[in-house]
Structure 1
Amino acid sequence: MSKGTWYDCMPPCNMRANFSEGTRPVSCQPEGGANTTAYDLMAELAPRWSASKEAAGRLEAELIETALDVAKLDKEDLRELGLAMAERCRVLQWSASLSSLPQVPAGPVRLDRHTSDLPLTLHNLERSVKNGISEFSPSPMARSIDTRCSPWVEIEANVRPVQAQEEQRLDEIEGQADFWCSCFASSSSANGASDSLLAQGQVEGLLDVRENILEAFFDCTPERVREVFASIDSDSDGRMLTVQQLRHGLERCGVSGLDNGTLSKVFERVSGTGRTLHLQAFETILCRLRLASLLARPWRANLSVVDYSCSKATDQYIDANNMRSFFFGHRPGARGPQDAWPVRWVHMPQFDLHLLLALTVKYSLHPLSVEDVIEQCPTKIDRLGANYFLAIELLTLVDNGQGPKGQQPVRVRGQHVAAFCSGPPRLDTLITVTQTDRKFSEDWPGGPGVDMKNCPTTFGHGWPEKLRQRLKATRSRLRERRADSLLYTVVDLCADELVTVTRAFLARLSWLEEDLRTRGDESLLDLGEVSLAQLQLGIVTRRLRSLQRVVRRASEYHDLHTTGSSDYWKDCADHLEEAYDDAVQMKERCDALKAAHEQTMERGQALEMQGRHDEAAGQAEKLNSMLFFLTAATALFTPVQFMSSVYGMNFVNVEGVPTIPMLLEKSGYERFWIGVTAYFALAFACAGWLYRRLQRKSGKQMRRKAAPLPACCCCCPR
């Protein structure tokens, strides 16, 4: 994936697959003519271990008989056998050398150093070995043990410069964007059926995007290219000789409508002086013509690219002006033999179907993974071919910045993050795609709660910006590692986003609990919000659990731990486990909060009813006191009123003289008031005595009620 060609990112061909379990690899015969066994090989690579008495017994016990069996052992197996560290390194280096076979020509092998017409396919080497031309092609095992096999060294010395020159020539041809676009534009019918289906709405409406579009028009994976090339290579010599064969191969890959003149021009340009096309050349034509169909007309692009090495990181923004140079060109290579190949991070902040299809062709992305991006698959990680695909259903917190944490309800938005990581041996490319989760409004309880149009996902926000800042830091440890560490960083940043959402819910529930505790029934707590938060926490726990499965599965891919990142994956798993436990605990906390709210409201209602009852009792007591006072006053004044009524009657005789005796007496009026005063004094004295007696009686009754019950015996507590 580093230079836009699939054979750069594919693992080297392993000739061990050509050997059966019971057959020894073809090798130079050591002195004495005996074939090399596993013990003989270990005697050369680990002589100190082989000198021990139990060495042969251990090999026999583990059924390690041939050199092929030794090549299948890993570091842990060698440690169990008892090899020292230096001996394990030598065995592993020898095993790694088996995957770097050079390529030899078809037919008789030339041994001179001026061989210049060697094709760049392994098919001829395999055919020569099958035909018995193996006396000049020793196995990697023999080359690592006995360097006296000079024919192989001469072939390898001749092949590698020619292969490098051919790759450089193809790179130059691939970078000629104007040539490829002109070839595609020269044929009016070359657009084919794919252009009519490139509208995003039509693609989303199809029932099977992978079968109808991706596999039909944009499948440039190594497996598909080899399959098509083998079908048109009738004589199986690894070469394509005619333009008609090229047309047939392109039509099988969905590139049709090119006239004979255009195909002839392309054939001559790519084939060069050899007038034949090999597998890599056919792949170049297929991918460049498909890119030309996508980039023939300019359109807006939104793509960010960061190329970094140990020393520095450079970023660029891809738009309509430099789009062709990016897709048709290649990144700068390593500066020297000691420098590592630069790593590239390509980020698409907003989903664009044209960009995704162009990246699919440039980096030979698998149709299954591209389909998962278009259809927004659930959280997963897969290895498709030599590359890894990651998808994450992400939740990010929308912080409105109003007031302290917890005072506002939690608002989140949904995103779908996809990542393509090139596999070993280079691990030099990571492609990420971020898009709005189209199903979030349906899955999230209560709706998104935020206008997604006003909160776009851009390269300058969220985890992409954090990742870019880490790469641009002065002393960045991330730049010292490969794309597998970059993939881990993406997962870790997404995990941090989910942890942030979990902590936001924790802060909100804590604030509601404190408000309920301090304000009681006057609290602002809403049972509807708590119930909604409980449902939302269910979605959060599901996303956390899915990401946990991804991290566990990623830890099983040993190819993703080339820079010692296994401990980092474990640390990420621990953080996710803690966040998951917090989310589950908060769901239970919501139930407790609802129960506490109900109890508080019931207590408040009870206190309110008690207050109303006390108020009614007070009013009744006040009314009773008033009635008692009026009754007592009426009772006291009734005799006086009676006397006044009697002496106020106008009974007179014939002469008009009053007949009531006291009215005619001189001191009658004074005697009346003396009697009234005496009456009132006696009445008030009696009323006071009666009131005090009633009060004493009421007090005794209250004290009797408050006093504890007497003990029935000496054993009973008082």
Structure 2
Amino acid sequence: MKRLHKRSVGLPPETPVHIGEIKTDKVKITSVRYDDHDIVISEQAAISECFPLKDKPAITWINIDGLHEVHIIEELGKLAGIHPLTVEDILNTEQQPKIDFFDDYVFVEMPVITLTEADEPVCIEQLSIVMGKTYVFSFREKESDVFKPLMHHLEYNKTLIRKMGADYLAYALIDIVVDNYFAVIEKLGDDVDSVEENVLRTAAPEILTNIHKLRRGFIRLRKAVWPMREIVSTLVREQSGLIGEPSKVYLKDLYDHVIQVNYTLETYRDVIYGLHDIYLTNLNTKMNEIMKFLTMIGTIFIPLTFITSIYGMNFEYMPELKWHWGYFTVLGCMFAAAVSFIVLFKRKKWI
């Protein structure tokens, strides 16, 4: 993927600069206008086609997929009255999740997590949400299916979301992202269970690679998801006229979900560290078994080597050298010594 290496170092504050990877070739603008009776979903070619937005009875949701075309985000910010610092935060995809309250809107920045087939097990992208009285703007790095179930409910079902305000729509967007956390963690949990079964059977090198891969994934997940606890808690506590009491009931339930996500992440993190310790223990046990086997073999052959070395000396006067039964007697002594050690090892339960 292409990546912009530009930074805002040296630029004045409120300068909109995209920081992060370019994850889509074309920016997609989708507008949704709905109320309890009607809904209109359309793809727009320009931001100006989505307005007028504010001060209308219907709820407007504008979703933008792709952040590298800075002028689009900047134009939306000017038309909707979004603070330039918020626009700057939207374009910076490398910062931590956050929440800001302004006079006429609430800004939330949070991670969207999906599974990948690459070396890193999870992909973490940024989702920015701007919620006003009658509108919600969402900004994603690229198009995905995360919001597809919500769009389906809006279009085909006159559910609670069609009767509630913009605050409930913002809650629904955050909730569906948090629900996706559970799906990702469940899949990674299956991988942890699979590695756990393998590590108890063998200490193959690829198992250690899988453990490290999972550990990196859960560390990145925890770093991304942990701030969500404070963000949702702030949404519940904040006395803002933009968030009604009916929606706060659902936000409290969402807070419980975030707590559960963090608790599950902590549990799996402890399990993975435990798997690493089990792997090292199994590896040491296997090594000890090998050393034990080699030690027993060496112990058996030490007296045999001693006997053969004595009779391998080139002295002229060795009484047994010309004895008729000398060869067979020495072989018998060597065999008896080997059997004696084997019997001793069995009595001590070493073999």
- Deviation (angstroms), 1:637: 5.5
Of 108, 112, 123, the match for 1:394: 112
- Deviation (angstroms), 1:484: 0.6
Asked if 1:507 corresponds to 2:190, the answer is yes
Name the counterpart of 2:289: 607
- Deviation (angstroms), 1:544: 2.0
Of 16, 19, 41, the match for 1:315: 41
Aligned mates of 1:557, 1:486 — CA distance in 2? 18
- Deviation (angstroms), 1:589: 2.6
State the one-letter code of the partner of 2:87: V
8 Å Cα contact 1:499/1:576 also seen in 2: no
State the one-letter code of the partner of 2:172: T
8 Å Cα contact 1:555/1:566 also seen in 2: yes
Residues 461-515 of structure 1 show CA distances to partners (whole Å, capped at 9, x for unaligned) of: 2323233122123343322211111101111122223333433443333222210
Aligned mates of 2:7, 2:207 — CA distance in 1? 46
State the one-letter code of the partner of 2:211: V
8 Å Cα contact 2:120/2:217 also seen in 1: no
State the one-letter code of the partner of 1:463: V
The normalised TM-score by structure 1 is: 0.39
Residues 67-95 of structure 1 show CA distances to partners (whole Å, capped at 9, x for unaligned) of: xxxxxxxxxxxxxxxxxxxxxxxxxxxxx
Aligned mates of 2:156, 2:304 — CA distance in 1? 81
Aligned mates of 2:247, 2:61 — CA distance in 1? 18
Asked if 1:347 corresponds to 2:63, the answer is yes
8 Å Cα contact 1:485/1:563 also seen in 2: no
Cα distance change, pair 411–521 in 1 and its aligned pair in 2 (3 A): closer
Name the counterpart of 2:228: 547
Cα distance change, pair 409–506 in 1 and its aligned pair in 2 (3 A): farther
Aligned mates of 2:261, 2:322 — CA distance in 1? 80
State the one-letter code of the partner of 2:70: L
- Deviation (angstroms), 1:391: 1.2
Residues 178-219 of structure 1 show CA distances to partners (whole Å, capped at 9, x for unaligned) of: xxxxxxxxxxxxxxxxxxxxxx99895662241x679xxxxx
Cα distance change, pair 620–378 in 1 and its aligned pair in 2 (3 A): closer
Cα distance change, pair 634–304 in 1 and its aligned pair in 2 (3 A): farther
Q: Secondary structure at the match of 1:583?
A: helix
- Deviation (angstroms), 1:576: 1.4
Aligned mates of 2:34, 2:186 — CA distance in 1? 34
Name the counterpart of 1:88: none
1:150-165 matches, cutoff 5 A: none
State the one-letter code of the partner of 1:371: E
8 Å Cα contact 2:31/2:43 also seen in 1: yes
Aligned mates of 1:637, 1:618 — CA distance in 2? 24
Residues 290-339 of structure 1 show CA distances to partners (whole Å, capped at 9, x for unaligned) of: xxxxxxxxxx76211111122342211112xxx38615x536998xxxxx
Cα distance change, pair 585–561 in 1 and its aligned pair in 2 (3 A): same
Asked if 1:330 corresponds to 2:52, the answer is yes
8 Å Cα contact 2:66/2:140 also seen in 1: yes
Name the counterpart of 1:148: none
Identity of aligned residues (%): 14
Asked if 1:417 corresponds to 2:134, the answer is no
Aligned mates of 1:410, 1:535 — CA distance in 2? 7
8 Å Cα contact 2:16/2:84 also seen in 1: no
Aligned mates of 2:243, 2:55 — CA distance in 1? 24
- Deviation (angstroms), 1:560: 5.0
1:58-137 matches, cutoff 5 A: none
Residues 328-381 of structure 1 show CA distances to partners (whole Å, capped at 9, x for unaligned) of: x536998xxxxxx21111011001211112211221212232222133443122
Name the counterpart of 1:63: none
Cα distance change, pair 532–479 in 1 and its aligned pair in 2 (3 A): same
Asked if 1:370 corresponds to 2:87, the answer is yes
Aligned mates of 2:85, 2:183 — CA distance in 1? 32
Aligned mates of 1:202, 1:636 — CA distance in 2? 94
- Which structure is larger by alpha-carbon Rg, 1 or 2? 1
Aligned mates of 1:589, 1:634 — CA distance in 2? 70
Name the counterpart of 1:137: none
State the one-letter code of the partner of 1:419: I
Aligned mates of 1:510, 1:325 — CA distance in 2? 51
Cα distance change, pair 561–590 in 1 and its aligned pair in 2 (3 A): same
Asked if 1:492 corresponds to 2:175, the answer is yes
1:236-275 matches, cutoff 5 A: none
Q: Secondary structure at the match of 1:552?
A: helix
Cα distance change, pair 205–524 in 1 and its aligned pair in 2 (3 A): closer
Cα distance change, pair 311–474 in 1 and its aligned pair in 2 (3 A): same
Aligned mates of 1:324, 1:391 — CA distance in 2? 21
Q: Secondary structure at the match of 1:564?
A: helix
Name the counterpart of 2:219: 538
Cα distance change, pair 410–571 in 1 and its aligned pair in 2 (3 A): farther
Name the counterpart of 2:100: 382
Name the counterpart of 1:557: 238
Name the counterpart of 1:207: 11
- Deviation (angstroms), 1:601: 0.8
State the one-letter code of the partner of 1:372: D
Of 262, 267, 280, the match for 1:598: 280
The normalised TM-score by structure 2 is: 0.75
Aligned mates of 1:486, 1:507 — CA distance in 2? 32
8 Å Cα contact 1:381/1:389 also seen in 2: yes
Where structure 2 has 5 or more consecutive residues not aligned to the other structure, the ranges are: 18-25, 310-318
Aligned mates of 1:598, 1:325 — CA distance in 2? 61
Structure having greater relative contact order (Cα 8 Å, sep ≥ 6) = 2
Aligned mates of 2:292, 2:39 — CA distance in 1? 73
Name the counterpart of 2:74: 357
8 Å Cα contact 2:35/2:163 also seen in 1: yes
8 Å Cα contact 1:481/1:563 also seen in 2: no
Name the counterpart of 2:149: 466
Of 390, 407, 431, the match for 2:137: 431
Structure 1 residue ranges, 4+ long, deviating more than 6 angstroms after superposition: 200-203, 331-334, 620-627, 631-634
Residues 19-43 of structure 1 show CA distances to partners (whole Å, capped at 9, x for unaligned) of: xxxxxxxxxxxxxxxxxxxxxxxxx
- Deviation (angstroms), 1:410: 5.3
8 Å Cα contact 2:182/2:261 also seen in 1: yes
Aligned mates of 2:10, 2:235 — CA distance in 1? 32
Deviates more, 1:200-209 or 1:375-384: 200-209
- Deviation (angstroms), 1:532: 5.6
Aligned mates of 2:145, 2:171 — CA distance in 1? 16
Aligned mates of 1:623, 1:324 — CA distance in 2? 90
Residues 90-118 of structure 1 show CA distances to partners (whole Å, capped at 9, x for unaligned) of: xxxxxxxxxxxxxxxxxxxxxxxxxxxxx
- Deviation (angstroms), 1:430: 0.5
Aligned mates of 1:614, 1:213 — CA distance in 2? 73
- Deviation (angstroms), 1:383: 1.7
8 Å Cα contact 2:16/2:91 also seen in 1: no
